[in-house]
Amino acid sequence: MGKYQKLIFVCTGNTCRSPMAEAIYKNLEQVSDRKVLSRGLVVLFSEPINPKAEVILKKHDLELPNHVAKGLKASDIDENTLILTMTASQKKKIMEQFPTIREVYTIKEFAGEVGDVVDPYGGTLVDYEECYVELGRLVKKTVYKLNEMN
C-alpha cells in the first residue's frame, strides 16, 4: 500500500475545506485501501458540513453523508499517517501541538505549489465553488503523487 496508510485533511472547523477535500479524494481514489479522514483544529461542538459546501459537493455529484465536525486528536495519528493542512499556520499549529509528527504538509506544499487554500467561510456560493475547484486540482495532484510513491 505504500508509505501512508492514512490521510487526514485538516482545516479550521472541519465543516468546509477539509470535508470537501475528503469527498473529492474518495471520489478520485476508489480502489485504494488508504483510510481518508478530515479533521479540524478548532471544533467546539459537533456540527454538520457547511450548507454552502454541501451545495457545491452535490452540484459535482459528491457527498459526505452523516459528516460531523471532529477535532484532530493524537489517537487519529500514527507513523503511517499523512496530514495535509489548508494553510501554513495550521501546519505550524499541528507541529507545535504534536511535536513527534513529521509527515505534515500544507496541501499546496505536498502538491508542489505555494500558498494557502483560502477559507470561503462567510462567502458566496461562488467563493465555495472557487475553493472546490482549487481543492479538486490539489487533491488530484495528491492522488497522483501518492500513487507514484507506491
Q: What is the pTM of this model?
A: 0.96
CATH code for the part of the protein at 6-144? 3.40.50.2300
- φ, ψ of residue 11 in degrees (nearest 5): -130, -165
Q: Which residues are catalytic?
A: 11, 17, 119
Residues 6+ apart with CB under 8 A from 88: 106, 116
Residue 65 has pLDDT above 80, yes or no: yes
For 72-93, the pLDDT digits (tens) are 999 999 999 999 999 999 999 9
Residue 50 has pLDDT above 80, yes or no: yes
For 3-37, the pLDDT digits (tens) are 899 999 999 999 999 999 999 999 999 888 899 99
Interior CA angle at 63 toward 62 and 66, to 5°? 170
User: What are the residue ranges spanned by the domains of the chain?
Assistant: 6-144
